[in-house]
Amino acid sequence: MPFLAFLALAIAPSSDWVPARWASNDPKSLELVRETPVNCLLLEASLWSREFSEAAAKAGVATLGVIPPSPDVNGLSQKAGLAGLTGIVLEGDFDAKTLPRDPPPSLTIVPLGLRSKIRFDSPASSVVGTYQGLWPGIHPEDKGTTHAAASGSVWIDTNAGFLRFAHAATGATMWIGNTPPPGSIYPVERYLQAIGDAAMNGARWVVALDDDLTKRVFARDGRAVQAWRRIGRELAFYEAHKEWRSYQAFGKLALIESPQTGALLSGGVLDMIATKHTPVRPVPSDKVTVEKFEGAQMAVDVDPESLTAGQRDALKSFTRRGGTLLTGPPGWKFPSLQLDQITLSKDDTEKLDSIWKELNSMTGRRNLGARLFNVSTLLSNMVAPADGKQVVLHLVNYADYPVESLTVHLLGKYRTALLYSPELKQPLVLELYPTDEGVGLDVDKMGVNAAIVLTP
């Protein structure tokens, strides 16, 4: 055996952790981890073990103890330190009174709290997150049909809008720790959708399997292990292109948002735009500057009264340069939100109807970066690095069957287009052809997650 095989692997910095909830403290279970990019395991208190944490550390795997709000939170944090864990996850509704006092300095602290309490500007952690999220996928009605979104498309449960805002609001790594609904048993595609739902918006999903799949994976059931390996392959796809996570939203439409105007909710204005496959740039209201609207043609400000005089001046500069600005009706206020709310209620959605209709009319059939066709079960996100040397169009299919004959029309000119997906060993060169708006391309077939990388 080579000498290097005897060396312990270094634990990656927290910004590079690929997290998963883990239901075993048997060191042999780490063999399952080695087959995937997962390098961070979340463990309930009953599973904390120095033997396991030391074995994990030697394999380069971080171990995080999950701590809920508890009168014994201080004792639990000390116990985590004694168990040799790498850190702790504070999962739940913590406040100043329930946070652990003087936790062991060796522990990295990762907050997974309420969406409404996320501190996007916190310098204390390189990872911020929430345990609150929708389970991604197409939501069926009782009779087997599907709900319709505001755009008329099938309704897709997604955390995309919230995560896009979070990505624009913080420089920290964003985790979303939503878990499968209790009692559910899902095909592996639903886990791949959860991975893509987060990854295309610059975040990481904390992998969590349903109880049935968990038991079968740890029992080394053949089909379950095969599903686990597919999950690992999907994670590996995004980790192989981790630079995409730092890219920012790209397109000609900007949406000014804040937590007070529904940015932390799923099903709001940004998700309504996303169902139309219109590239959109979320702009946190506290980050409104002239520079944020460079290259934009349209902007939407749901609550202009919340802006400062300087921020309003930035929008005036945008309109003087020829930009179109849509604002909420005079005197209109975004519905008040509950502390633990993560979706808009039906009544609140109806209150947004007037804004949605005007926005839909304003954007119409215009190409504001990309237009997609034959994509009723897909969501997309267009992102680019600061240097503009490439553009990435993320695609996530929320159906449990492949999508065929996808067409994309792109605004402007591009020299090359490559299709990347977990199923492809090498990227597939896509033929570009001229359109009235710029160029077009066709994708014959895709599974759950894919990305088209474009070179201007």
Mean pLDDT of 166-195: 95
Domains of the chain and any CATH numbers: 9-246 (3.20.20.70), 248-363 (3.40.50), 370-455 (2.60.40.1180)
Using N-to-C axis directions, what is the helix angle for 211-218 and 222-239, rounded to 10°? 100
Residue 353 in this model has a pLDDT that exceeds 80:
no
In the chain, % of residues over pLDDT 90: 70
For the chain, what's the residue count?
A: 456
Distance CA 454, CA 451 (A): 10
Asked if 157 and 197 touch (Cβ cutoff 8 Å), the reply is no
Do residues 130 and 106 lie in contact, with contact meaning Cβ atoms separated by under 8 Å? no
Smallest Cα–Cα separation from 141: which of 152, 153, 155, 151?
A: 155
So what's the pLDDT on residue 140?
A: 61
Confidence label for 24 from pLDDT (cuts 50, 70 and 90): very high
Q: What is the pLDDT of residue 143?
A: 42
pLDDT for res 335: 65
Q: Evaluate whether 437 touches 397 at the Cβ level (below 8 Å).
A: no
Strand, coil or helix: what is 270? helix
Q: What is the pLDDT of residues 375-415, one digit of tens each?
A: 889 999 999 999 989 999 999 999 989 999 999 999 999 99
pTM beyond 0.85, yes or no: yes
The pLDDT value recorded for residue 5 is 40
Tell me the CA distances in angstroms from 294 to 168, 201, 253, one per residue in order: 16, 21, 11
Is 46:68 a contact under the CB 8 Å cutoff?
Answer: no
What are 191-215's pLDDT values in tens digits?
999 999 999 999 999 999 999 999 9
Query: What was the pLDDT predicted at 305?
Result: 77
Chain segment 133-149, per-residue pLDDT in tens = 999 998 765 444 444 44
Question: Residue 255's pLDDT band (boundaries 50, 70, 90)?
Answer: very high
CA distance 304 to 331: 10
